[in-house]
Structure 1
Amino acid sequence: MLKTRDQSTNDAGQSAPPREHHAGPLPKRVLLAFVVVAVAGGAYFFFNKPLQPPTNSLHVSGRIEGYETNIGPKIGGRVDYVAKREGELVKRGELLVKLSDDDVQAQLRGAEARVLSSQEKASEAHYQLSVVDNQIAEAQVRVEQSKEDTTAQVDQAEANVATTEAKVAEAEALLSQARSELEMATLRNERYASLVQDKAVTLDEADQARTGKDNAIALVSSRKANLEAARKQLRVAKAGLEMARTSRLNPQMRNAQLAVLKQQRIQAQFKEKSAEHEVKNAKSEAEQIKANIAYLNVNSPIDGVVTARSVEPGAVVVPGQNLLSLIDLDRVYLRGFVPEGDIGKVRIGQAASVYLDSQPKTPLEGEVIQIDPEGSFTPENIYFKEDRVKQVFGIKILLKHPERFAKPGMPADAEISLVK
């Protein structure tokens, strides 16, 4: 019995290690059981969770932008004055930039002098044509009366001589008057040229004196031409008188005279048309210069705010150069980006509520007016790489009544209504 107990004791002692060996796998079985329970529970909750109701709006963040209007001159010149700076409001038609008009005013004075001179020439040509017409009419009458006594013809010729002599006297008087005016204009020009060196008069006054002299010279030239024309007519009239006194009238002689007069009429008509064309060109030049003077004032085409000022007084600009940039605060929009997965929900014309950071509780009414036709990656102002690789679509939401609260550059949020 003792041996048996010892054996039992030994057997028990020998069987202890195997008991420790069977105790090791128990934690793994427990862990496996937990995993099975967790997976089963997760599957249960996944397949039995309640469905989320679809949202009725889409959130978009972005910033306020506007349609920019660039302001430039129609002609080049030196900038005298810039009325506004960045951030200032402007009214439609308000003067924004003024260019110097010194050179253009001098051009205008010269053009007006050419208009006056060409009008004088046109008047002279018209007068000469009327004289020839009268002579032709008289010649035609003389052809019909070629068989009559020469007494009446002599009287008429004498009357013509008297008339032309009076015209010569008048032309001489007008020329004398023009020469007197030229002398006065010359003295005035010389005096103002001296005074301007001492700054006693302005450059504009000196320019006006010089222009007055130029006009007086042109007038003297025109009056000389008128006098020469009158003297020529007087010589013709005297020749006619001499012919009437010394020659018998006959149809052949009168017809020859009539032919000569008709040829003179053709020449007079050509001179008249040339003079009228010269007047037209001179007036067109003056009108163009006046238009250029008006273009020196650059006015605002819209009500808005200045976003950029590119020039300062003293700068020389060219036609079309950008001087100022404006944005109409009544036509601003929110520029935002929608993820690719949500862009299919957005439609042109959908209503939206826009919230400004300055007035987060007062939404502004908006409407989707543009969706980019092509996607792009998240805008460059995102700094995390995992966000920059997401494709998005840009949209524009027009603010219907911004009331000038929304200004370009302001951050804003929008809720786009997806309700059909």
Structure 2
Amino acid sequence: MVAKRKRLVLVAAVILVAGLSVTAYQHWRAAPDANQLTLYGNVDIREVYAAFYDSGRISQMLVQEGDAVHQGELIATLEQSRFADALAAANAQAANQQQILAALLAGSRPEQIAQAKAQMDALAVVYQNDASNYNRYAALAPHGAATIQQRDDAQATYLNAKRNYEAAKQVYILAVKGPRAEDIAAAQAAYDAAKASASLAAQEYNDAKLYAPANGIIEERVQEPGDMTSPSAPVYVIALTNPLWVRAYVPESDLGRIRLGMTASISTDSYPGKTYRGWVGYISPTAQFTPKTVETPDLRAQLVYQLRVYACDSQGQLQLGMPATVSIDLTQPQTAGAARGADVCGGANAPAT
């Protein structure tokens, strides 16, 4: 009887110990790591809607959806004939105005001055002869030796010769002095305006080519060759590959445990066992309700703060909208707050912040 009682006590003790062990294990499994903060979010990137500066008909679309493009790479062109014609006309006008200005700045040539003087001297002789002839008729007319009509005709000829001489004299004086400062200034202004028009035409000619504004992936090819486009009509949608981040949300109770620049590790279900290095690059200054896209139902009713955890992804595996888990070691030293892409990603893959 005593032995049986001992066996019952022993069995009860074993059951109690086993139960306590299971409870402790379950508690250990359920208890969160106080030194590790786990957040949930989605991969987020920026998009660029690439469009031409001018309206026109698309001539070439040089990349396809899914192609990687580099900043400055030619990706589309407009029909350029009208832009080329406008540029040629503007350059010709600028060249013409330049020649006019150069002629004024150079002043009168010696040959021009000599020609003006010869013309003035010739008209001076005519003027003197006509003046003598008029004086003679004017003296004879009162005595009846010449008619009044002869005197009047001689006077008209004399006055015309005088006007011609005075005009030739002014031409000679201007030839010696050279162009006026006002004329030079006007020619300079006309040349500057022509140059500006030529520069604008050249810019419009170059704007008929569309270049990738940044490194990225062609997400959507919106238009095709032959389409009429305008500055308000995107030709491509480009997903920028740098920077790339995970948009996550932290409850207010955990907000004080993280700092800008803290390093983090990022994982996704798409690549099990693979982690990506990253760092906290942005903390929202205002709270919000957790968006419905976050895969944590227990957080959806809470006020949270948005984070951007920038990621190092040299192989381009992280895609827009991909669910991601972010783990932040809360024991990292205070100096970790200075971490940035060049430090975390090793320089070559450092996102631009």
Would you call these one fold, judging by a TM-score over 0.5?
A: yes
1:281 counterpart letter in structure 2:
A
Within the candidate set 92, 97, 105, 2:84 is matched to 105
Change (3 A) 1:320 1:370: same
Verify the 8 A CA contact 2:245 2:311 in the aligned structure 1: yes
1:418 counterpart letter in structure 2:
L
Verify the 8 A CA contact 1:332 1:408 in the aligned structure 2: no
- Deviations, residues 212-259 of structure 1 (Å, cap 9, x unaligned): xxxxxxxxxxxxxxxxxxxxx4xx524414647997xxxxxxxx9987
SS in 1 for 2:244: strand
Q: Provide the rounded CA distance (Å) in 2 between the counterparts of 1:244 and 1:376.
A: 101
2:118 counterpart letter in structure 1:
A
- Deviations, residues 320-377 of structure 1 (Å, cap 9, x unaligned): 6543332332421111222343333232222211112232212111111112222222
Within the candidate set 248, 261, 265, 1:336 is matched to 248
1:77 is displaced (CA, Å) by 2.5
SS in 1 for 2:46: strand
Change (3 A) 1:124 1:372: closer
Change (3 A) 1:353 1:377: same
Any unmatched runs of 5+ in structure 2?
Answer: 1-22, 129-166, 333-353
Verify the 8 A CA contact 1:61 1:413 in the aligned structure 2: yes
Percentage of identical aligned residues: 23
1:402 is displaced (CA, Å) by 4.0
SS in 1 for 2:245: strand
- 1:19-418 mapped onto 2 (5 Å cutoff): 55-122=34-101, 125=104, 129-131=107-109, 135=113, 160=114, 164=115, 233=116, 237-241=118-122, 243=124, 261-262=172-173, 268-269=179-180, 270-319=182-231, 321-381=233-293, 388-418=300-330
Residue in 2 that maps onto 1:28: none
Q: Provide the rounded CA distance (Å) in 2 between the counterparts of 1:335 and 1:410.
A: 10
What TM-score do you get using the length of structure 2 for normalisation? 0.63
1:111 counterpart letter in structure 2:
A
1:290 is displaced (CA, Å) by 1.2
Matched pairs, number? 269
Verify the 8 A CA contact 1:133 1:265 in the aligned structure 2: no
Determine which structure has more spread, i.e. the larger CA radius of gyration.
Answer: 1
Any unmatched runs of 5+ in structure 1?
Answer: 1-44, 136-159, 165-232, 248-255
Change (3 A) 1:347 1:386: closer
Residue in 1 that maps onto 2:346: none
1:93 is displaced (CA, Å) by 1.4
Residue in 2 that maps onto 1:7: none
1:119 is displaced (CA, Å) by 4.4
2:69 counterpart letter in structure 1:
V
Change (3 A) 1:57 1:240: same
Q: Provide the rounded CA distance (Å) in 2 between the counterparts of 1:413 and 1:82.
A: 38
1:117 is displaced (CA, Å) by 3.9
* Larger displacement relative to structure 2 (75-84 or 237-246): 237-246
Q: Provide the rounded CA distance (Å) in 2 between the counterparts of 1:330 and 1:242.
A: 82
Residue in 1 that maps onto 2:146: none
RMSD across aligned C-alpha pairs, in angstroms?
3.9
Verify the 8 A CA contact 1:355 1:412 in the aligned structure 2: yes
- Deviations, residues 137-181 of structure 1 (Å, cap 9, x unaligned): xxxxxxxxxxxxxxxxxxxxxxx4xxx5xxxxxxxxxxxxxxxxx
Q: Provide the rounded CA distance (Å) in 2 between the counterparts of 1:364 and 1:384.
A: 21
